[in-house]
Amino acid sequence: MTTLFSQSLRLTLIFTVLTGLAYPLFVTGVAQLAFPRQANGSLVQSKGQIAGSSLLAQKFTSPRYFWPRPSACDFATLPSGASNLGPTSQALHSNVLAHVASFQTGNQLSTNTPVPGDMAFASGSGLDPHISPEAAHLQIARVAKARGLSVDRVSVLVNKTLEPPQFGFLGAARVNVLALNLALDDMDAPHAP
C-alpha cells in the first residue's frame, strides 16, 4: 500500500513538473522566438504608446472615428461572449432593429438603406476587431465631415487598410477598425517638413 502511494505521488509530481511547468515554458519560449508580436497579444502602438490589440475591438462612438460592430458584452474582455439569443428571440429582434436604426441615424442614411449584417449583429465573442468593407464605406461620409476631410481622401484610406481574405481564400475582405482609426489620427497629425 505504501509503495503504491509513493509511486502515485512521484508520478503526480513528475507529470506536474512536465505538464505544468516544463511544457508551458517550452511553448512560451518557442512562441516568443518564432512569433514575438503575436505571443505578446498583437499589440498596436501609436506615438510610443500601446493603443490596443489588433485582435480586440474597442468602443469607438465619436463621429470622428469608424465604429466597430455591436458588442453583446459592451467591449469588455473578461465577460466577452455572445448574447446567446436564438433566431426566434424577441430580444434579439429588438436589438438588431436598434443597431440598424442607430447605424442609419448616426451615418445620416435613409431608413431604407440596407445595413450590413456585421453592423446589425454582435459577433460571437463581442470583440471582433473587423468590419466589412461595406460597413466601412457607409461610414466614410460621417467621418470625413466630422474631421473636415474630403470623402475621397477617407475612401482612399479605407481602401488602403482593407485586408484581403486570409491566404487569398479564407473568409472575406475586412477592415480592422483600430488600424483604420489610428491611420485617421496619423492623417490629422502635423507632419515635419
If asked whether residues 61 and 32 sit together in one domain, one would say no
Is residue 49 domain-resident?
no
Sequence-ordered list of residues with C-beta below 8 angstroms from that of 58, at least 6 positions apart, any chain: 52, 68, 75, 177, 178
Mean pLDDT over 1-9 rounds to 87
Rounded to 10 degrees, the C-alpha dihedral 151/156/60/182 comes to: -130
Per-residue pLDDT of 136-164, as tens digits, reads 999 999 999 999 999 999 999 999 999 99
Q: What are phi and psi of 86, to 5 degrees?
A: -80, 170
Per-residue pLDDT of 40-62, as tens digits, reads 888 888 888 988 898 899 999 99
Count how many domains the chain has.
2
Per-residue pLDDT of 58-96, as tens digits, reads 999 999 999 999 998 888 877 777 778 888 999 999 999
Residue-number span of the structural domain to which 8 is assigned? 1-40
Higher pLDDT, 102 or 73: 102
Measured distance CA(10)–CA(106) in Å, rounded: 64
Is residue 47 domain-resident?
no
If asked whether residues 97 and 7 sit together in one domain, one would say no
Mean pLDDT over 28-45 rounds to 88
Is residue 175 domain-resident?
yes
